[in-house]
Amino acid sequence: MSRFTAPIAEQIWDMKYRLKEADGTAIDRTVEDTWRRIARALAEVEAVPQVWEDRFYDALSDFKYLPAGRITAGAGTARSVTLFNCFVMGTIPDSMGGIFEMLKEAALTMQQGGGIGYDFSTIRPKGASVKGVAADASGPLSFMDVWDAMCRTIMSAGSRRGAMMATMRCDHPDVEDFIGAKADAARLRMFNLSVLVTDDFMEAVKADRSWDLVFDGTVYRTVQARDLWNRVMKATYDYAEPGVIFIDRINKANNLSYVETIAATNPCGEQPLPPYGACLLGSINMARLVSDPFEEAAALDVDALNELVATAVRMMDNVVDASRFPLEAQRQEAKAKRRIGLGVTGLADALLMLGLRYGSDEAARQTEDWLHAIARAAYLASVQLAKEKGAFPLFDADKYLASGTMQMMDEDVRDAIREHGIRNALLTSIAPTGTISLYAGNVSSGIEPVFAYAYTRKVLQKDGTRTEEEVVDYAVQMWREKFGDRELPEFFVNAQTLAPLEHVKMQAAAQKWVDSSISKTINCPEDISFEAFKSVYMEAYETGCKGCTTYRPNDVTGSVLSVSEEKKPEAPEVIATTEDAPQQPHGDVIYMSEPLDRPKALEGATYKLKWPDSEHAIYLTINDIIVGGHRRPFEVFINSKNMEHFAWTVALTRMISAVFRRGGDVSFVVEELKAVFDPRGGAWVNGKYIPSILAAIGGVIEQHMIAIGFLAGEGMGLKSDPQAQVVNLPGGRGKACPSCGQYDMRMVEGCMTCGSCGHSKCG
């Protein structure tokens, strides 16, 4: 019998985590093989590997403990990839040579599959003088554009694009440009942006005082703090960015405040890290630990929780020794502090099983109690590891116990740390778990509420037929198995029915016992007033959160999820629909379980591309397939007599054709190619500047897509797509997933994530 409780869970495992040969032949025959591979790899550093291998396997079995995706996909594979999810890179020097040295380090890190965070506050503002060259500085945003272009060209391990976070202090002279950067939809697409907000600034906002914008001791200009705050709020109200990071609170609470200063986070914000810091993530699946769900005796098994946490901490500590690192500085930083980020997923499902409404005072209290129990168990497990293997090298008992987080820790835990030390400097974090939650049977993600109770997912088979799969929330599925068609109780709520301040309440309750931070999205209705929207951020600040990320669907951001409520008296399910919508194949066909077989004959067109200063032209042949009476691109052939072009034209031919044959919205191929720039310079073609020959190829493909009616026009999206209602929100569909094409992109834990295939902008 399969351990998977839903078809989508097995598909996620097969696509994302199953170990395969280069030709696609499976090495992991079952998910049990995957668990055994991970357990064996992480037990190799133990004195008695076999004993710990079995214990690690038991923790992984039935999806009780979920290591982060990079561990699940990479452990035990002998591949040259990092098992760490994300990094904050070194401090950027305010010099041209230093800046481009940091760019190189970023490229090397993303090449191994790590997302990165940077603080760009260290670069002098636009217009500042540059000594020795009689020139003015171009400012940090111009260099962020360079990082953005670099990120587009590097494919992270696991076939995911690199993700980046950029931060800037609220007193940097260019902070206003930073705040408004995402108003240009084509700019900085590979970045998440967050403003580093200080306590002094928040007090100035509340008192309506002036605020100096300063760099290197020089005041460039003075603004009203409240005006600047409103500018941040308006940008995130309109564009969902930038986020807000309460940086002083982070540094005051940091267990390691005596040896490090934090100025940046990883791409999703749950791990504030020092220069070259790395985040190592994993989650306890709370939904698997509830006994007697939906009954009077329903309870979370605290003994099982404590045992599972202790095993998970040991596994994660071993990853520090088992992982490769892109840079030596990252390895040294990880070894010196051994910080880990153990979090939770399935929390909302676990609350439902206890009959608690997410966002209620009772649910907040229960969440705080559970996170307290996890923190206690994690810290005590790390003390035991310190007794066995030694404390982290930079441990100083007096300074460590004087930190903000440790002052509130239980006295027996403090006494144990004082006596024996602790193995890991920080232990808890709540990370984005969108993909691993699907893999675990579609449990609720992280500490987020249930997003949708159920939705349908269309799958195109190789023979051209379509099947539909229902994707059901884990707790809802358990309710059905117990009670059949009985109506769901009132305490079943979803992300859209909750008031924004109820989201904040849950985040604040969890944050009290999380020593790093939390990746959480506060969903706001489209019609929320600007003043009410601002109050969400102020409430997050006043209740002890370390940051705040909101999502308000609108014409710019798209809707949250294209679903509509199917009228069933027995249960209020959320079902995706394309009824009353144009039935275009590029909208209805949203995911393919396998690439379509190539027909014997295809219609197409061949284009000649002459690039200036190149002796030979490039010829592009684009063939199309007819699906549902409509034409869509199916394959590309790129040829040139120039042998210098041979390798990359073959690679591009194969990659683009593979993408086209998967179906869905493949317009992103055009966007990615057109965004590539050649550092040697582009060329003027037909009166228009083209940044590279790859961008020119993207332009040819775009014109072909327009000619066959697949795209609406240059720089535009699909010609016509299904429109659908959004539950409890006005408006139409969201954006299509660039990986599978399904209209199931949602803001989850601070990152646009596909609920169908797990694709995440943040890697």
Q: Which residues are catalytic?
A: 266, 268, 270
Q: Is 599 within 8 Å of 623 (Cβ atoms)?
A: no
CA–CA separation, 138 and 147 (whole Å): 14
Task: Tell me the residue type at 270.
Answer: E
Question: What does the DSSP 8-state code read for residue 465?
Answer: -
Category of 736 on φ-ψ map: left (φ > 0), alpha (ψ -120 to 50) or beta: beta
Q: Is 392 within 8 Å of 534 (Cβ atoms)?
A: no
C-alpha to C-alpha distances, 550 to 111, 209, 504, 541, 624, nearest whole angstrom: 30, 26, 10, 14, 41
Q: Is 166 within 8 Å of 188 (Cβ atoms)?
A: yes
Task: Tell me the residue type at 428.
Answer: T
Q: Is 577 within 8 Å of 726 (Cβ atoms)?
A: no
Under DSSP, is residue 535 helix (H, G, I), strand (E, B) or coil?
Answer: helix
CA within 13 Å, CB half, 392: 29
Angle between helices 302-322 and 49-60 (to 10 degrees): 120
CA–CA separation, 275 and 256 (whole Å): 13
CA–CA separation, 737 and 568 (whole Å): 28
Strands 272-273 and 547-548 come out as: unpaired
Neighbour-count burial of 570, counting CB atoms closer than 10 A to its CB (0-12 exposed, 13-18 middle, 19+ buried): exposed
C-alpha to C-alpha distances, 292 to 299, 350, 351, 490, 741, nearest whole angstrom: 7, 11, 13, 19, 39
Q: Is 684 within 8 Å of 693 (Cβ atoms)?
A: no
Show Cβ contacts of residue 519 under 8 Å, excluding neighbours closer than 6 positions. Answer: 268, 269, 270, 430, 431, 432, 446, 549, 749, 750, 751
Structure tokens at 267: 């791409």
DSSP string, 305-327: HHHHHHHHHHHHHHHHHH-B-SS
For the beta carbon of residue 566, count every other beta carbon within 10 angstroms. 15
Q: Is 118 within 8 Å of 164 (Cβ atoms)?
A: yes
Angle between helices 199-207 and 225-239 (to 10 degrees): 100
Q: Is 243 within 8 Å of 555 (Cβ atoms)?
A: no
C-alpha R_g of the chain: 26
Q: Is 191 within 8 Å of 148 (Cβ atoms)?
A: yes
Strands 191-197 and 243-246 come out as: parallel
C-alpha to C-alpha distances, 63 to 44, 66, 318, nearest whole angstrom: 22, 6, 19
Structure tokens at 756: 């169908």
| CA-closest candidate to residue 503, choices 569, 462, 548 | 548
- CA 339 from chain centre, in angstroms, equals 20
Q: What are phi and psi of 722, to 5 degrees?
A: -65, 145
CA–CA separation, 434 and 757 (whole Å): 10
Give me the residues paired with residue 689 across strands.
684
- Helix then strand then coil, % of the chain, to nearest 5: 40, 20, 40
CA–CA separation, 599 and 539 (whole Å): 59
Task: Tell me the residue type at 685.
Answer: V
DSSP string, 630-660: EEEEEEEEEEES-GGGHHHHHHHHHHHHHHH
